[in-house]
């Protein structure tokens, strides 16, 4: 399994207009039947303990600033994938995320045919709303890249429990 950083192929204006940050990672999986929701469920339904510990630490740090913690997001009609409300969905693409005081965040999971399987691409888009958002993004960026790759690896594992 090889995870590659790729150029984001998401139309920023249609997903999160004004986004100042975007990155994308891709892996090819042998599962010919996987769709975007199944890939997102494999990514976000379970996390390694070290990722959960980072999220708990993040929640403790941001709560005094009035920022949303991982349990405070309202599900949309599309439900939730892990911690994130689903905003839009087709079999080939799932968009999840939320808006907060400091920044607006979207994660896009795309699935497309590939030689020997399916390409699964996770793209992250961020629109910072103020200095706090820019500072927050700078602090979490080293962790974001590691977490994104770790969660994308889970797409190659067996399906997430329902």
Q: Tell me the pLDDT tens digit for each residue of 2-25.
A: 999 999 999 999 999 999 999 999
Is 34:131 a contact under the CB 8 Å cutoff? no
Is 61:136 a contact under the CB 8 Å cutoff? no
In DSSP terms, which residues pair with 38 in a beta bridge? none
Please give the backbone phi and psi of residue 27, each rounded to the nearest 5 degrees, phi first: -140, 150
Query: For the CA atoms of 140, 150, 59, 129, what is the dihedral angle to 10 degrees?
Result: 40
What are the residue ranges spanned by the domains of the chain? 4-156
Number of H helices, E strands in the chain: 4, 7
Name the pLDDT band for 70 (thresholds 50, 70, 90): low
Share of the chain above pLDDT 70, in %: 87
Q: What is the overall mean pLDDT for the chain?
A: 87
Q: How far apart are CA 68 and CA 59, in angstroms?
A: 8
What's this model's pTM, rounded to 2 decimal places?
0.85
* pLDDT for the residue 83: 78
Q: Mean pLDDT across the stretch 109-136? A: 94
Which CATH architecture group holds 4-156? Answer: 2-Layer Sandwich (3.30)
* pLDDT for the residue 72: 53
Share of the chain above pLDDT 90, in %: 56
Q: Where are the alpha helices (DSSP H) in the chain?
A: 12-16, 36-44, 49-62, 131-153
Instruction: Give SS3 for 99.
Output: strand
């Amino acid at each position: 399994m090889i995870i590659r950083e790729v150029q984001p192929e998401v139309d920023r204006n249609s997903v999160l207009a004004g986004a100042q940050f975007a990155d994308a990672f891709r892996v090819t999986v042998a599962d010919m039947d996987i769709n975007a929701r199944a890939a997102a469920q494999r990514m976000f339904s379970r996390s390694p303990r070290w990722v959960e510990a980072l999220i708990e630490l993040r929640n403790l740090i941001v709560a005094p600033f009035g920022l949303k913690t991982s349990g405070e997001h309202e599900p949309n009609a599309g439900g939730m994938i892990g911690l994130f409300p689903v905003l839009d969905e087709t079999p080939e693409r799932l968009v999840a995320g939320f808006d907060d005081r400091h920044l607006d965040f979207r994660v896009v999971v795309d699935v497309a045919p590939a030689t020997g399987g399916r390409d699964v691409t996770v793209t992250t888009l961020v629109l910072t709303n103020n200095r706090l958002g820019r500072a927050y993004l700078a602090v979490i960026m080293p962790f974001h890249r590691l977490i994104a790759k770790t969660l994308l690896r889970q797409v190659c594992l067996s399906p997430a429990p329902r």
